Structure 1
Amino acid sequence: MAPDSLSLDRILTEITTTNNLPALNHTLKNGLPKESRETILSSPLASGQDPLLVLDLRQNTLGVLYILSARLNTTNGPVPPELVASFCRSFIPDQARLAPERVSMLARGIQKLAAVYQNPLFAVAPLRDLVTRYPTHPDALTTIHPIFLQACISADQLIAALPVLSIPIAHIIPSLSDLTYNDNLMYHYLGGILFALLKKWTEAEEYFEICVTAPGSAPAALQLEALKKLRLVQLISRGEVLTLPKYVHAALPRLLKNTIYTDLFNAYPENAERLQSILEKEKQTFSTEKNLGLVMQAIDRAPRWTLKKLTATYVTLGLGDIARAVGIQSEDEVRALILSMIETGELSAQISASGTVTFSDPPPQFMRAEVDAVLYNAQAQSEILEELDLQMARSKDFIGKAASKGQEYGMQDEEMYMAGGSGAWAEDAMFV
């Protein structure tokens, strides 16, 4: 870009007249001095007019994206919130994908604008439009994803995130978004928090586990926080902590072992007195780490898990015996607890007039809708895995490595890739 073209007026002319969008992107990205680019893009026209009111928000998507993202991240001029919302509803995705780093700036700028207006709710709808319209695939991770979840949590609009969270991430496309390793961790960590706030424990456990098991040369601080929350969610939903997958970084469980959480896990659920002592002593720590709510829910459910363990050993027990076992003083409270568990389907039992509780195995019950949902999920996951297998089979890097591995063992290409003499791909070769 020539020196006389450093004004926003000249830039606006190029935006509105060019038909070569990649060239326009190169000009906007590299044709301005790096140290003053955002200042120039966020300035008004020479006439004092707002360029965003001159440009067509849809047809001039690329130019608007550069100017809008600059304006939202500088203090040169205000941006009408309704204009931001309108752009996110109407932009042309193919144009926006030419400048993924500006899309990231736009998303962060929307967050800042909501903070300026002290209106967290404002950010939810524009970010939802961005996160659903911008990616080439609905299951592709972008930098917008964690920002959107943060907005939903801040605005207490948790349900708004469920359609996005219901689609497992299966694609990482470097050209689509300027992702970092931390974006993946943050998205799944925030997803776990959001599901935990909704008391969707199975989904929360899944998202926290994805964060915890993400590969890396060393555990990230966020993974340790996710592991704490994963363990607490397991206590709430299962009554115990589960063995971590073998592919978790070996240092991560050791880091957790040196925290107060290990004492909590070891005392759970039977040692009610010890649990209360830990809560009182470490309440400030749990609160600072944003885990106090989960800890209190876990401790509140401890008597239920202790009671369920009793059913594995005894067929009948008196209310007094149960009260002593679960750490509750009043038989009336125990009776209320048992009736509550019976009502929610957690326990199958009968209480006699004399206060004797008889336990029995609950009859299995499956709703047609639940069976259909399981079958539908299995089919959907099968299709995703099949597509990933096909992509791997077409990968030049994979074929090259497989070929070199086969030659190392003295195999011919045909022997390695073909099943028998049928001409079909050997399934086992896909997992070498």
Structure 2
Amino acid sequence: MALDQFVNTVKTLSSQRSLTELCDFLNKQSLILAGNIGQLDSIYESLEPSQHSLACVAVLIARLQGDAVENWDSILARINTLLTESSDDQLRFSPHILADLCHILSTNLIKNNIPIRGIALVLTAIKKLQPNPKVLTSLHADLAKLCLKATCFGPILPILDQDISQINKEGDSFDAAHVLLYYYYGGCIYLAVKEYEKALYYFEVAVTCPTAAVSHIMLESYKKYQLVGLLVHGDKSKEVVTLPKFTSPIIPKFLKPLCPAYTEVVTAYHLSSSDGLRNVITKYKDLFETDQNLGLVRQVLEAQTRTNIKRLTKTFVTLSLADVASRVGLDTPARAEREIVEMIKTGSIHATISQQDGMVRFDLNPESYSSPEMLRLVEETVTKAIVLDKQVEKLTEEVMLSCQYIRKVAGTKDDEDERLASSNSAVSSGGGKLPGYSLG
């Protein structure tokens, strides 16, 4: 088919608002567009982004998949204009086309070491596809990865803080890899800004997503989940950071044997021996470097020292700095003093240090929980709990009224249930790296 006929067909179907036929036509023409890279610019110029949005996206996809882009300023400006002027009706009618464009764009920008230039574009595309901020799209994973690679977290943090209650269905299905990658990258971003509790939650979601098979993304999330769990709950019993009961049984069965080094770190941490933990870290140093988790493991070692100091507050009223250093495995009293001062600043412990005799006095928590700030915190927590309860009630109602749930209650199984059951029985301990995705 001549390229001028391609343009005429696109204009005709767009003017007739025959979007189904237009999408079918564009899918069939992808190879023709890919084989005429040199003429794509002229084709694009003959189209109007506001009237031929889907066709413009298809042309840009072909361009990004073709020869290496030499003028990024031009193509990024073109994508920005398209997203600004495009028809929301067209894009939401076939959201997977816009999603494909953003996936390919993100991959190319990261490959060319300019990820920061795609952040605003992908953010705009997300708003185009989202019916509301609580809906997760496949583009969220691209945005998170771009922000992580660019070390630019301002645009993504408000999105990460938003509770997700729905997944946007793009095309006939939604690739689970996008969900897993979003939560994995989100956890890494929270680690970078030292919000460890939120990072732990994101890694937990990635590990506990309903599944019939384990993936490489889940494995990497599980490794970080174990380490971050020590940073957040290291002063509590080992059982506090175990996976929740709703976790698929295949997760602990297959993931735990794949990361024995991390299990040894957890065990050594709870033995409260700094030398023992250092020995484990030294033993698996090369593995931790390969996993890019060595820095996180070293933070765990520092956290163990603070946990050991915190335990002393439950046993002693006063101790010398020399005794503190000896009991928690620090080199000098001066280093023990620095650790205690830092813990006092963060509110981890309440203590006073005498500079005259080098004694530490551990005090009780002075908080009386009667200040206006504490009252405001309690009110905010209660409000969040009420909102969350309403969301759970709404989702429960939607599930109970769904046809699939009714069929299950009635004791029947659809084809999908049988397929999942069959897949579950065939899972092997090797897991499976999801094709086409890298955690790098």
What pairs up with 1:176-191 in 2 under 5 angstroms?
Answer: 178-191=173-186
Equivalenced residues, count: 395
- Equivalent position amino acid for 2:225 in 1: L
- Contact kept, 8 Å, 2:110 with 2:149, in 1: the verdict is no
Higher radius of gyration, 1 or 2: 1
User: How far apart, in 2, do the equivalents of 1:275 and 1:388 lie?
Assistant: 44
Q: CA 1:390 to 1:295, structure 2 compared with 1: closer, same or farther past 3 Å?
A: same
Measured against aligned partners, the alpha-carbon deviations of 1:304-350 in whole angstroms (never above 9, x if no partner) come to 11011111222222222211111012112212221221122111112
- Contact kept, 8 Å, 1:228 with 1:256, in 2: the verdict is no
- Contact kept, 8 Å, 1:8 with 1:43, in 2: the verdict is no
Q: CA deviation at 1:169?
A: 2.2
Q: CA deviation at 1:401?
A: 4.4
User: How far apart, in 1, do the equivalents of 2:20 and 2:245 lie?
Assistant: 49
Measured against aligned partners, the alpha-carbon deviations of 1:157-210 in whole angstroms (never above 9, x if no partner) come to 122111221222221343457521222211111111111111111110111000
- Find the partner of 1:28 among 12, 18, 25: 25
Q: Percent identity?
A: 27
What pairs up with 1:346-357 in 2 under 5 angstroms?
Answer: 346-352=348-354, 353-357=356-360
Q: Please name the residue that 2:48 is paired with.
A: 56
Secondary structure (helix, strand or coil) at the match of 2:361 reads strand
What pairs up with 1:200-279 in 2 under 5 angstroms?
Answer: 200-239=195-234, 241=238, 242-254=241-253, 255-257=255-257, 259-268=260-269, 270-279=272-281
Q: Please name the residue that 2:85 is paired with.
A: 90
What pairs up with 1:26-425 in 2 under 5 angstroms?
Answer: 26-32=23-29, 36-39=31-34, 42=37, 44=39, 50-75=42-67, 80-115=75-110, 117-175=112-170, 178-239=173-234, 241=238, 242-254=241-253, 255-257=255-257, 259-268=260-269, 270-352=272-354, 353-364=356-367, 365=369, 366-402=373-409
- Contact kept, 8 Å, 1:41 with 1:67, in 2: the verdict is no
User: How far apart, in 1, do the equivalents of 2:384 and 2:32 lie?
Assistant: 48
The CA RMSD measured in Å over matched residues stands at 2.6
Measured against aligned partners, the alpha-carbon deviations of 1:237-291 in whole angstroms (never above 9, x if no partner) come to 2225512212323343354355111221111152111222222332221111011
Secondary structure (helix, strand or coil) at the match of 2:352 reads strand
Q: CA 1:383 to 1:316, structure 2 compared with 1: closer, same or farther past 3 Å?
A: same
Measured against aligned partners, the alpha-carbon deviations of 1:343-367 in whole angstroms (never above 9, x if no partner) come to 2211111223333322222133554
Q: CA 1:179 to 1:404, structure 2 compared with 1: closer, same or farther past 3 Å?
A: closer
User: How far apart, in 1, do the equivalents of 2:156 and 2:63 lie?
Assistant: 27
Runs of 5+ unmatched residues, structure 1: 1-5, 406-432
Runs of 5+ unmatched residues, structure 2: 413-440
User: How far apart, in 2, do the equivalents of 1:295 and 1:172 lie?
Assistant: 34
Q: CA deviation at 1:296?
A: 1.1
Q: CA 1:391 to 1:58, structure 2 compared with 1: closer, same or farther past 3 Å?
A: same
- Equivalent position amino acid for 2:66 in 1: T
Q: CA deviation at 1:122?
A: 0.7
Q: CA deviation at 1:31?
A: 4.4
Q: CA deviation at 1:375?
A: 3.3
- Contact kept, 8 Å, 1:188 with 1:211, in 2: the verdict is yes
- Contact kept, 8 Å, 2:10 with 2:22, in 1: the verdict is no
TM-score of the two chains, using structure 2 as the length reference: 0.82
Greater shift, 147-156 or 49-58, is seen at 49-58
- Contact kept, 8 Å, 2:106 with 2:146, in 1: the verdict is yes
Q: Please name the residue that 1:416 is paired with.
A: none
Q: CA deviation at 1:227?
A: 1.2
Q: CA deviation at 1:404?
A: 6.3
